[in-house]
Amino acid sequence: MDRDRYKEVIRVCCLEKDLEIMEHGDQTEIGERGINLSGGQKQRIQLARALYQDCDIYLLDDIFSAVDAHTGSEIFKECVRGALKDKTILLVTHQVDFLHNANRILVMRDGMIVQSGRYQELLESGMDFGALVAAYESSMDLVEMSTPVSDDNPQTPKSPHTPLTRGESNGESRTLDRSKSEKGTSKLIEDEERETGSVSSDVYRQYCTEAFGWSGVGAVILISIFWLSSLMGNDYWLAYETSENTIFNPSLFMMVYLIIAGVACVLVFIRAFLVAILGLKTAQKFFAQILHSILHAPMSFFDTTPSGRILSRASTDQAAVDFMIPIFLSMTLVMYFNLVSIVVVTCVNAWPTVFLVVPLVWLNIWCRGYYLATSRELTRLDSITKAPVIHHFSETVSGVMTIRSFRKQGRFFEGNVQRVNANLRMDFHNNASNEWLGFRLELTGAFFLCTATLFMVTLPSSFIQPEYVGLTLSYGLSLNAVMFWTVFMSCMVENRMVAVERIKQFIRIPSEAPWRIADCLPSPNWPTHGDIEIIDLKVRYRSNTPLVIKGVSVNIYGGEKIGIVGRTGSGKSTLIQVFFRLVEPSGGKIIIDGVDICKLGLHDLRSRFGIIPQDPVLFEGTVRSNIDPIGLYSDEEIWKSLERCQLKDVVAQSLKNLMLLVVVDSGDNWSVGQRQLLCLGRVMLKCSKILFMDEATASVDSQTDAVIQKIIREDFSACTIISIAHRIPTVMDCDRVLVMDAGMYLTLLSLQLSYTCKLSKEV
């Protein structure tokens, strides 16, 4: 590692301040998909990773979209024009203010290059580039138009609906202490939970009684006893008819034998049907429980739990519950009854063999306990080492473009091999322990069988009648195999019950707040005005982590447009997450139209808000299923929404039927800007009284941004809008701007034109 180059890359990518704030600096653990980083931090870390490689050609795809104006300028100055000044750079961007420094500009439309040249040349030629620059300059003209206002403290409009008297600023007298804020003590990704010792009897009870209670278990046991009794009845009937004191009647013998065999067939069919129904019902209930638990888990659970662990329990462990455990448990039950019947028949008809059977049973029980102590833990380790394989593979697939770009295929291939080997090592040792058990059980069983056979043959007929010697030997020959398989199958059941144990761990995940609270339902048209009061709000992601929102108190009046600005990582997106209670407040309150949001059910709360997130989410399906997931709106309403959010032409060019236009998983066949516009269309259909916008136009050009801002002004004029933005023109339509830094807000500015310069300095 080149330490000097590393430090220089950190500096030019403006990451020094972020590393100071992070708990462990550059050794801070990063969660899956960078879940504990802001959008701007993720972009700058990716830029730093590319810059550290010291290549000749750099392909930079919209690296300024998620960073604030000041940070973007610093990156362009120190990185693009500084560290990379002697490199070939291909920069894809919507930020036209950086283009006058480019040696050559390519303007694209509909997949084709329509203009090429230097900044001034393209500007003079007009066309597409001229329109983009004109849109940008018109938005900046609004910023530069400054009219002096004599009143240094302009009054903000008061809501006519709700009298709010709490102070509007709490940040002026506070000093920021970023270097030594309170520290968390735990790792982000905790070690996977693992039980030790024997599987609890409570796990067996829960599995067996999950479907139909003890009645289902009793029915299976009863049918199994009747079935095995019919099999033993056939053997006894054969022994009785072939004895010396009985006159053999072939027709009677065959008729009784066939009747008993027919009864046995019916009973085994009923038993198989009952076992299948019980196993299927139990598996369905377990899957429903684990699915409900995961879907209702708090967001902190997904921060600290890799997806591989979730997939492992919902796939491998669930498969064991679906298929393996019902089969093994059913076979073990039969084996135990069969073993008991063999021991009983042998001891009744050749009682001296009891002196050999007892030590044989004791020896098998001892071997079983000795083997299980190892095999059970190996099975647990096998399940735990499977999750990293799934997690590493899924992350490799999702990041394969980056891996290939940096030529790190060998490193990831080796990492995958190491994880697979760690998992297969457990499988190898498990198979070795199975061989150990099988060899000893077979050897001891064969020894005792030979001894018992020699014992019965040498005894006089007065001790054991000859016909019962044959019956005893026929059972004794199978005793060795039955005892081995009884012990082995019971061990397999114990090992497979680890899957139930692991599923139960996830079923016990603490759930987020209730979906609905019956005695605290908001009115059907809540929120009516959109008044918001934030009182000393404190937020931390988990109980053992530092505060990320530190005592914010703000009043927002109904119909106001509030812009939130600040450096990346200052807590802007977290503030919006608290409104949806994706993160629960650690202290303070949020009151909307007189209702404390923490007292509402999550569905009643979240369904009343609209949001356009920083990372737009699309699901595999169609445009209609994404813009109207519940199917509440007509095609005409959807087309109107698409037209308003500038997507009608895109959809119409592809296909006129909304039901058939495909959206692939994560919306990868749409650009990031189009995904954000689709989310805007979704919100426009919903017509929420309160709208949250988290960098809603970060990935669109200035021309489209201006159009979207115009749409928002017209369609959401009566709504309360809270908008996070890094572009100053984006927040110029706002009534007030909240400036945040390190989880606190520095000031709440009333955005009159005379305050533009002050706002720019704060940002």
Q: What is the DSSP string of 614-679?
A: SS----SEEHHHHHSTT--S-HHHHHHHHHHTT-HHHHHHH-S-TTT-EE-GGGTTS-HHHHHHHH
Phi first, then psi: what are they for 650, rounded to 5°? -60, -45
Average pLDDT in the 468-484 region?
A: 70
With tokens 């404190």, the residue in question is 538
**Angle, CA 23 vertex, CA 17 and CA 27 arms, to 5°:** 85
> Which whole number is the average pLDDT over 130-141?
65
Which tops the pLDDT comparison, 154 or 130? 130
The confidence score (pLDDT) of residue 594 equals 86
Q: What CA–CA distance (Å, rounded) separates 644 from 479? A: 80
Mean pLDDT, residues 1-18:
84
- Calculate the average pLDDT of the chain: 78
Residues 337, 339, 345, 350, Cα dihedral to 10°: -160
Helix (H) or strand (E) holding 721: strand 720-724
Provide the pLDDT for residue 748. 61
pLDDT at 165: 36
> Does the pLDDT at position 155 exceed 50?
no
Question: 201-508 — its CATH code?
Answer: 1.20.1560.10
* Lowest-confidence pick of 97-101, 294-298, 470-474, 476-480: 470-474
**What pLDDT was estimated at residue 149?**
41
Would the pLDDT of 171 be above 50?
Answer: no
722 close to 572: Cβ distance less than 8 angstroms: no
Cα distance between residue 602 and residue 609, in whole Å: 11
Is pLDDT of 709 > 50? yes
Please report the pLDDT score of residue 179 as a whole number.
36
pLDDT above 90: residue 428: yes
- 384: helix, strand or coil: helix
- Read off the pLDDT of residues 543-556 as tens digits, 9 standing for 90 and up: 777 788 888 888 88
CATH number of 3-143: 3.40.50.300
Residue 28 confidence class, pLDDT cut points 50, 70, 90: confident
State the pLDDT confidence band at 8, using cuts at 50, 70 and 90. Answer: confident
Query: What torsion do the CA atoms of 621, 626, 630, 633 make, to the nearest 10 degrees?
Result: -120
Q: Is the pLDDT of residue 137 over 70?
A: no
CATH 1.20.1560.10 positions along the chain are 201-508
* pLDDT, mean of residues 319-333: 89
CATH architecture, domain 532-757: 3-Layer(aba) Sandwich (3.40)
Q: Is the dihedral of CA 140, 613, 627, 683 positive or negative?
A: negative
Structure-token match 């989410």, residue found: 617
Mean pLDDT of 474-490: 78
pLDDT at 113: 84
- Whether the per-residue pLDDT at 160 is higher than 60: the answer is no
Per-residue pLDDT at 289: 92
**Which has more confidence, 345 or 363?**
363
Q: Which residue has the higher pLDDT, 178 or 705?
A: 705
Residues 6+ apart with CB under 8 A from 564: 572, 575, 722, 723, 724, 725, 737, 738, 740
Instruction: State mean pLDDT over 727-754.
Output: 66
Amino acid at 90: L
| Mean pLDDT, residues 492-520 taken together | 87
Query: Is the dihedral angle over the CA atoms 704, 706, 708, 711 positive or is it negative?
Result: negative
Ordered alpha helix ranges (H), 194-249: 201-209, 213-241
Q: Which helix (H) or strand (E) holds 612?
A: strand 609-612
Mean pLDDT to the nearest integer, 519-533:
84
Could you tell me how many residues make up the chain? 763
Alpha carbons 669 and 667: distance in angstroms, whole number: 5
Mean local confidence (pLDDT), 204-225 = 89
CATH 3.40.50.300 domain locations along the chain: 3-143, 532-757
Whether pLDDT at 429 is above 90: yes
Range with the largest mean pLDDT of 53-67, 406-420, 640-654: 406-420
The pLDDT value recorded for residue 476 is 65
pLDDT at position 288, please? 92
Residue 156 has pLDDT above 50, yes or no: no
Span 211-223, mean pLDDT? Answer: 89
pLDDT of residue 283: 92
Highest mean pLDDT among 17-31, 381-395, 469-483: 381-395
**Among residues of the chain, what percentage have pLDDT more than 90?**
7
Which residues are 741's β-sheet partners? Answer: 744
Calculate mean pLDDT across residues 411-435.
Answer: 92
Most confidently modeled range among 150-159, 242-251, 525-534, 656-665 = 525-534
Task: With cut-offs at 50, 70 and 90, classify the pLDDT of residue 175.
Answer: very low
CA distances to 648, 655, 710 from 652, in Å: 6, 5, 23
pLDDT in tens, 300-313: 888 788 888 888 88
Sequence-separated (6 or more) residues with CB below 8 Å from residue 136: 96, 97, 702, 703
pLDDT tens for each residue of 252-286: 888 888 888 888 899 989 989 999 999 999 999 99
Cα distance between residue 529 and residue 694, in whole Å: 22
Average pLDDT over residues 489-493: 88
> What's the 3-state SS for 432-479?
HHHHHHHHHHHHHHHHHHHHHHHHHHHCCCCCCCHHHHHHHHHHHHHH
Between 235-239, 242-246, 590-594, 618-622, the lowest mean confidence (pLDDT) is in 242-246
Q: How buried is residue 506: exposed, middle or buried, by Cβ count under 10 Å (0-12/13-18/19+)?
A: buried
Mean pLDDT (whole number) for 657-686: 77
739 falls in which pLDDT band (50, 70, 90)? confident
